[in-house]
Structure 1
Protein backbone atom coordinates (compact mmCIF):
# COMPACT_ATOMS: atom_id res chain seq x y z
CA UNK A 1 0.00 0.00 0.00
CA UNK A 2 2.82 2.38 0.85
CA UNK A 3 4.46 1.81 -2.53
CA UNK A 4 1.21 2.67 -4.30
CA UNK A 5 0.88 5.88 -2.32
CA UNK A 6 4.45 6.87 -3.15
CA UNK A 7 3.87 6.20 -6.84
CA UNK A 8 0.62 8.15 -6.79
CA UNK A 9 1.91 11.13 -4.81
CA UNK A 10 5.49 11.40 -5.96
CA UNK A 11 6.60 9.45 -8.99
CA UNK A 12 3.63 10.24 -11.26
CA UNK A 13 4.27 13.96 -10.81
CA UNK A 14 8.03 14.16 -10.46
CA UNK A 15 8.89 11.72 -13.24
CA UNK A 16 7.57 13.84 -16.12
CA UNK A 17 9.99 13.80 -19.06
CA UNK A 18 12.02 16.99 -19.20
CA UNK A 19 10.81 18.31 -15.83
CA UNK A 20 13.39 19.63 -13.40
CA UNK A 21 12.57 19.97 -9.74
CA UNK A 22 14.40 21.77 -7.01
CA UNK A 23 13.95 20.58 -3.45
CA UNK A 24 11.62 23.44 -2.46
CA UNK A 25 9.36 22.94 -5.48
CA UNK A 26 9.27 19.17 -5.02
CA UNK A 27 8.32 19.56 -1.34
CA UNK A 28 5.57 22.04 -2.19
CA UNK A 29 4.07 19.74 -4.84
CA UNK A 30 4.31 16.74 -2.54
CA UNK A 31 2.53 18.57 0.30
CA UNK A 32 -0.20 19.87 -1.98
CA UNK A 33 -0.83 16.47 -3.59
CA UNK A 34 -0.99 14.91 -0.11
CA UNK A 35 -3.54 17.48 1.09
CA UNK A 36 -5.67 16.88 -2.00
CA UNK A 37 -5.42 13.08 -1.69
CA UNK A 38 -6.43 13.23 1.98
CA UNK A 39 -9.51 15.31 1.17
CA UNK A 40 -8.25 18.23 3.27
CA UNK A 41 -7.86 20.77 0.47
CA UNK A 42 -10.77 23.04 1.48
CA UNK A 43 -9.51 23.38 5.05
CA UNK A 44 -5.94 23.90 3.83
CA UNK A 45 -7.00 26.58 1.36
CA UNK A 46 -8.83 28.56 4.07
CA UNK A 47 -5.68 28.45 6.18
CA UNK A 48 -3.52 29.41 3.20
CA UNK A 49 -5.77 32.37 2.36
CA UNK A 50 -5.44 33.65 5.93
CA UNK A 51 -1.65 33.28 6.02
CA UNK A 52 -0.79 34.56 2.54
CA UNK A 53 -1.19 38.31 3.22
CA UNK A 54 1.08 38.01 6.24
CA UNK A 55 3.67 36.00 4.33
CA UNK A 56 3.68 38.31 1.32
CA UNK A 57 3.15 41.77 2.77
CA UNK A 58 3.59 42.07 6.53
CA UNK A 59 6.91 40.23 6.67
CA UNK A 60 8.24 42.04 3.59
CA UNK A 61 7.51 45.50 4.99
CA UNK A 62 8.22 44.80 8.67
CA UNK A 63 11.71 46.37 8.59
CA UNK A 64 10.46 49.43 6.67
CA UNK A 65 8.26 50.46 9.59
CA UNK A 66 11.11 50.21 12.09
CA UNK A 67 13.19 52.62 9.98
CA UNK A 68 10.44 55.24 10.01
CA UNK A 69 10.10 55.18 13.81
Structure 2
Protein backbone atom coordinates (compact mmCIF):
# COMPACT_ATOMS: atom_id res chain seq x y z
CA UNK A 1 0.00 0.00 0.00
CA UNK A 2 1.30 3.46 -0.86
CA UNK A 3 1.83 5.98 1.94
CA UNK A 4 -1.17 8.29 2.32
CA UNK A 5 -0.55 11.27 4.65
CA UNK A 6 -4.32 11.57 5.19
CA UNK A 7 -4.42 8.23 7.03
CA UNK A 8 -0.79 7.31 7.81
CA UNK A 9 1.82 8.74 10.15
CA UNK A 10 5.35 7.74 9.14
CA UNK A 11 7.35 6.94 12.27
CA UNK A 12 10.37 5.56 10.41
CA UNK A 13 11.88 4.83 7.00
CA UNK A 14 13.82 1.74 5.94
CA UNK A 15 15.99 1.26 2.87
CA UNK A 16 14.56 -1.40 0.61
CA UNK A 17 15.29 -2.58 -2.88
CA UNK A 18 12.30 -4.89 -2.67
CA UNK A 19 9.61 -2.19 -2.38
CA UNK A 20 8.97 0.98 -4.34
CA UNK A 21 9.90 4.13 -2.35
CA UNK A 22 6.95 5.46 -0.35
CA UNK A 23 5.37 2.05 0.22
CA UNK A 24 4.11 1.09 3.67
CA UNK A 25 6.14 -1.94 4.75
CA UNK A 26 5.20 -2.21 8.46
CA UNK A 27 2.24 -1.07 10.52
CA UNK A 28 2.63 -0.51 14.28
CA UNK A 29 -0.91 0.74 14.93
CA UNK A 30 -3.96 0.60 12.67
CA UNK A 31 -5.89 3.72 11.78
CA UNK A 32 -9.30 4.15 13.37
CA UNK A 33 -12.37 5.80 11.87
CA UNK A 34 -15.67 6.68 13.54
CA UNK A 35 -18.62 7.79 11.43
CA UNK A 36 -16.31 8.43 8.49
CA UNK A 37 -13.89 10.63 10.48
CA UNK A 38 -10.30 9.65 11.16
CA UNK A 39 -9.76 9.27 14.91
CA UNK A 40 -6.16 8.07 14.82
CA UNK A 41 -3.83 7.68 11.84
CA UNK A 42 -1.96 4.43 11.32
CA UNK A 43 1.63 4.51 12.57
CA UNK A 44 3.76 3.01 9.80
CA UNK A 45 7.25 2.41 8.47
CA UNK A 46 7.75 3.35 4.83
CA UNK A 47 10.36 2.23 2.33
CA UNK A 48 12.98 4.46 0.80
CA UNK A 49 15.42 3.74 -1.99
CA UNK A 50 18.80 2.38 -0.89
CA UNK A 51 21.68 4.84 -0.93
CA UNK A 52 24.36 4.21 -3.49
CA UNK A 53 28.03 5.04 -3.14
CA UNK A 54 27.64 7.92 -5.59
CA UNK A 55 25.08 9.54 -3.27
CA UNK A 56 27.32 9.30 -0.19
CA UNK A 57 29.78 12.14 0.27
CA UNK A 58 33.25 10.84 1.10
CA UNK A 59 35.22 13.12 3.43
CA UNK A 60 38.99 12.53 3.54
CA UNK A 61 40.37 11.71 6.98
CA UNK A 62 41.22 14.80 9.00
CA UNK A 63 38.71 17.03 7.15
CA UNK A 64 35.54 17.58 9.13
Q: TM-score range by the shorter chain?
A: under 0.3
Give the TM-score taking structure 2 as reference length: 0.23
Relative to its length, the structure with more strand (as a share) is 2
Relative to its length, the structure with more helix (as a share) is 1
Give the TM-score taking structure 1 as reference length: 0.22
Q: Which has the higher contact order (CA 8 A, sep 6+)?
A: 2
